[in-house]
Every structure is written in structure tokens, then in C-alpha cells.
Amino acid sequence: MIIGETDRLILRPYILEDFAALHAIFSDPDTMRYYPSPFSEEKTRQWIRRNLRRYEEDGFGLWAVILKETGQLIGDCGITLQPIHGQMLPEIGYHLHRDFQGRGYATEAARFCVKLAFDTFRFPAVYCYMKHDNWPSMGVAGRLGMVLTEIYPDPVNEYTRVFRLNKETKASRKILAETAKQLALYPLHGSVDGKESNLQPLVQHFRRWDVQKADRLWCAAFVYHACITAGFQIPFSPEECTLCSLAGVPAWEELAQKDSRIGYHLPAGFEPQPGDIVLYDHVFCDQPHDHIGIVIENHPDHILAAEGNIGNTNHSGLIQRKKDEHIRCYIRLPENYSWYA
């Protein structure tokens, strides 16, 4: 029985005879470095039996991933119901033999499973969750179009990251403006006035970044977090961005100029709308594109913008900005924009 095929892979149910191939994966310390420990032979057998039960009880589970070219079992991938912060949610899981990692097989198999979860099993959303430092799995989740929605303490993983992909994405500039305004007025802040930084929701999107490194450098991260929270699907470091990730202002201009779906507008003769992204020159350090915000209101001679690190105070807030030479450009994301589409 075959569950389905991709260009390079076949997904089929486990059989008991898969034990040797699967144990070679699950007993490998490198492959299992994000688990508490590699599997014993008995734990691998339990893993197989558990998924055989899932096929009967749920109609889905983790399936064997077969390389078409050789017929070799190289891993597994599928849909399972997992306890994610107190809820049983459909998770897209994947494990690959170390010799076959880094070739796109996990993303290819997982993308098939996402489609199956939406089209056959009618889930409105799917999830991936993993240990906080499991960057390879986070990369797969990002390539699937998932966005980071939560980080929570976990006695096994220390912290667990949760990524989600909705079947229907409804993101708009109106929602973005409302989201940015709420975040600005919260307010978010770095370490200031004796208060501990609350920027963790912003920095969690970016690899190898933390609240200390972000202090007073988080205006672009504020914009990215607002976009993700509003439902736009954008990786933290799109391939168009060669200068830096979207935690840096120049990357936003680079993305807008290279992705033809995104509107890039010079200020002369352009009327911004709520939810447009605005880039500034020479606001903080007499440098081009040194600040960024999100338009909340447009007026004849000024805009009202939501910004992170407003006025270099290490706080978020709303500010009136004159329509003058300090406005470098506006960026307009299309409704329901997904970089992955």
C-alpha cells in the first residue's frame, strides 16, 4: 500500500520488517541529538507498533519514506496527534537518516503530508514543535510556510518552539495596522528604567539572537513580529536578502525590490495607507535606512506610525512623522501575502 508519492519519494505505512532500517536512524546519536537519548531496540519496536495502532485508530501516523531511485528506507514523515502545550494537535513530524539530511527530502515529504492533512483529513491548521535549538527542523517548518506562534517551558526540551500553518491564510494590511498599534501601545521595551526586557516574542523569530543582543536594535524585528502576528507568511531570512535577516532594516528594502509581488514606493506622489511599512533615513545615526515602522494613519503633512525602539528610547510607541526627506520609501505587502506561495 502506498500513501502517496513526490518527485523523489514514496510514502507507505510501516511494516514490522522495517525495524533494522528504522533502528539505524533512531539509534544514531547524531540524528537523535534533540531527543533525550537515542532509542534502544525495544523503543524502536514500540515506535513501530505505536504507529501501526495510529493507522487503525486515527487513519494516519508516521509513514516510511522510501527513496524512489534505490528503494531504500531513508526516514519517516507523517501526521500525528501530539500534546502541544496542553492541546492535542495535528503535527507534521519527520526523521531522516543522517546520510540523507540536507538534500530537501524532509521538506519534500512534509509538504506532501501538509497537503494530505488539509485536503484528506480536513484539519484547519497543522503544527510542528521541537526543542528550542533544533534549527534544522525549524528550517523545514519555515520552508513549509509555517510561522512561529509560541515558545513555552518544557521539562524535556527546556523550551519548546511551536510553528503553525493555517489552511486558509487571511492577512491584510488593515489587520497589520491594528496589530502594530496594539504592540506599540503594549508597550514592548528593552532593558530600561530598571525593567527587564520583554522582547522575547520578537527575538524568538531570529536564529542566534537574544534580548541582550537586540537591545536598542529591534525596530525591524518589531515590524517582522507584527507582520507574522497579523498572518503574513515571511521567513526571517528570505533568499532575496543578502545583506542581513529581516531583523535589519536594509533587508526589508531588498526584499521589496526583489519580490515583484511587493509594492516598493518612493515617497514623492505616493499616498501611504494603514498597514504600509515605512523606511526612514538619518533618523538615529545619520545613516540611510536606519529606522522602520508601520503606518497607522495618513495625513496631508504627516503619518502616524507604530515603531519599535521609538526615538531610540528602547520602547515601542506611536509617533507622528513629517512627510519630509527622512522618509526613504514605503513598502506595501499584498493582501494574504505568503513568500512561500
291-301 pLDDT, tens digit per residue, is 999 999 999 99
Mean per-residue pLDDT, 187-203: 90
Band of residue 72 on the pLDDT scale cut at 50, 70, 90? very high
Task: Please state, as a whole number, how many other Cβ atoms lie within 10 Å of the Cβ of residue 325.
Answer: 10
Residue 133 in this model has a pLDDT that exceeds 90: no
Q: Are residues 188 and 310 in the same domain?
A: yes
Q: Of 104, 119, 134, which closes a domain?
A: 119
Helices assigned H by DSSP within the chain: 19-26, 41-57, 105-119, 135-143, 173-185, 200-203, 211-214, 219-229, 249-258
- 165 within domain boundaries: no
Q: Three-state SS for 225? A: helix
* Residue 105 dihedral angles phi and psi, to the nearest 5°: -70, -40
Q: Are residues 99 and 203 in the same domain?
A: no
Per the structure, the complete domain to which residue 113 belongs is given by: 4-119
Residue 260 in this model has a pLDDT that exceeds 80: yes
What total number of domains does the chain contain? Answer: 2
Tens digit of each residue's pLDDT (9 = 90 or more) over 35-44: 999 999 999 9
Band of residue 148 on the pLDDT scale cut at 50, 70, 90? confident
Residue 303: partners with Cβ closer than 8 Å, 6 or more residues away: 272, 278, 295, 296, 297, 320, 321, 323, 327
pTM for this predicted structure: 0.68
Q: Are residues 68 and 180 in the same domain?
A: no
Q: Are residues 194 and 97 in the same domain?
A: no
Mean per-residue pLDDT, 146-168: 85
100 contacts 1 by C-beta, under 8 angstroms: no
Radius of gyration of the chain from Cα atoms?
A: 23
Q: Are residues 179 and 266 in the same domain?
A: yes
Q: Are residues 41 and 112 in the same domain?
A: yes
pLDDT at position 334, please? 96
Q: Are residues 181 and 69 in the same domain?
A: no
pLDDT at position 203, please? 87
